[in-house]
Amino acid sequence: MEQPSRRRTAAAFAALALVLMLLLICSLNVGSISLSAGEVLRGLLHRSGEHAAILWELRLPRSLAGILLGGALSVAGFLLQTFFNNPIASPFILGISSGARLAVSLLMVGLLCRGFLIGSAGMIAAAFAGAMAAMGIVLLLSQKVRQMGLLIVCGVMIGDICSAITDFVVTFADDANIVNLHNWSRGSFSGISWDNVRVLAPVVLTALALAFLLSKPIGAYQLGEGYAQSVGVPIRRFRLALILLSGLLSACVAAFAGPVSFVGIAVPHLVKGLFGTAKPLVIIPGCFLGGGAFCLLCDLLARTLFAPTELGISSVTAVLGAPVVIWIMVRRRLRTDERGS
Partner 1 sequence: MHEFLVHTDGLTVGYRGVPLIRDITLQVRRGEILTLIGPNGAGKSTILKSIIRQLMPLGGTVYLDGRDMSGMHERAIAQRLSVLMTDRSRPELMTCGEVAAAGRYPYTGRLGILSAADRAKVHEAMALVHAEALYDRSFDEISDGQRQRVLLARAICQEPEVIVLDEPTSFLDIRYKAELLTILKRLVREKQIALILSLHEIDLAQKISDRIVCIRSHAVDRCGTPEEIFSGGYLERLYGMTAGSFDEHYGGIELAAVPGPPRVFVIGGGGSGIPVYRRLQRQGIPFAAGILHENDLDCPAARALAAQVITEQAWQPVRPQTIAQAKAVIDHCAQVLCCVPAFGPLNDCNRLLAEYAGSRLTAVTDST
Rounded to a whole number of angstroms, the minimum distance from the CB of residue 100 to partner 1 is 28
Residue 334 interacting with partner 1 (CB under 8 A): no
Is residue 59 within 8 Å of residue 28, measured between CB atoms? yes
Q: Report d(CA 110, CA 315) in Å as an integer.
A: 28
**Interface with partner 1, residue 149, by CB under 8 A:** no
Tell which one of 180, 229, 304, 315 touches partner 1 (CB under 8 A). Answer: 229
271 contacts 290 by C-beta, under 8 angstroms: yes
User: Of these, 28, 107, 233, 313, which contacts partner 1 (CB under 8 A)?
Assistant: 233
Looking at the Cβ atoms of 171 and 230, the one nearer to partner 1 is 230
* Contact flag: residue 304 with partner 1 (CB under 8 A): no
| Alpha carbons 49 and 17: distance in angstroms, whole number | 28
Distance separating alpha carbons of residues 104 and 125, to the nearest angstrom:
9
> Least distance to partner 1 from the beta carbon of 211, Å?
12
Return the number of the residue (87 or 91) whose C-beta is nearest partner 1: 87
| Pair 196, 61: CB distance under 8 Å | yes
**Quick one: 232 exposed, middle or buried, by C-beta within 10 A (0-12, 13-18, 19+)?**
exposed
Interface with partner 1 includes 327 (CB under 8 A)? no
Work out how close the CB of 216 gets to partner 1 at its nearest, in angstroms, rounded to a whole number.
3
- Of the pair 115, 226, the CB lying nearest partner 1 is at 226
DSSP state string for 123-140: HHHHHHHHHHHHHHHHHH
Given candidates 86, 183, 222, 315, which one binds partner 1 under the rule CB under 8 A? 222
Using the rule CB under 8 A, is 148 a contact of partner 1?
no
157, 213, 240, 330: residue in contact with partner 1 (rule CB under 8 A): 213
Based on CB atoms, which residue is closest to partner 1, 119 or 224? 224
Element (DSSP H or E) covering residue 80? helix 60-84
Does 206 bind partner 1 (CB under 8 A)? Our answer is no
Does residue 219 bind partner 1 (CB under 8 A)? yes
Q: What distance in Å separates the CA atoms of residue 306 and residue 323, rounded to the nearest whole number?
A: 22
Distances (CA, A) of 126 to 33, 105, 123, 183, 336: 36, 9, 5, 19, 41
Closest CA to 281 of 11, 1, 75: 75
**How many Å apart are CA 106 and CA 125, to the nearest integer?**
13
Contact between 209 and partner 1 by CB under 8 A: the answer reads no
Q: Please report, as residue ranges, which positions from 281 to 300 form the binding site for partner 1 (by CB under 8 A).
A: 281
User: Burial level of 110, CB count in 10 A (0-12/13-18/19+)?
Assistant: middle
Give me the least distance between CB of 53 and partner 1, in Å please. 43
Q: Write b or e for each residue in 272-308: b if 16 or more Cβ atoms lie within 10 A of its Cβ, otherwise e.
A: bebbebbbbebbbbbbbbbbbbbbbbbbbbbbbeeee
40-48, 109-117, 244-252, 275-283 -> range binding partner 1 (CB under 8 A): 275-283
Residues 80-109 that bind partner 1 (CB under 8 A): 85, 87
Please choose, out of 39-47, 153-161, 201-209, 211-219, the segment that lies near partner 1 by the rule CB under 8 A. 211-219
Helices then strands (H, E): number in the chain?
15, 0
The least distance separating partner 1 from the CB of residue 227, rounded to whole angstroms, comes to 7
Should residue 45 be labelled a site residue for partner 1 when binding is judged by CB under 8 A?
no
- Our finding on whether 226 is near partner 1 (CB under 8 A) is yes
Rg of the chain over all Cα atoms, to the nearest angstrom: 20
Asked if residue 230 binds partner 1 (CB under 8 A), the reply is: yes
**Residues in binding contact with partner 1, number by CB under 8 A:** 26
Q: Which of 277/315 has CB closer to partner 1?
A: 277
The residues of the shown chain that bind partner 1, judged by CB under 8 A, are 1, 85, 87, 213, 215-216, 219-220, 222-224, 226-227, 229-234, 272, 276-279, 281, 335
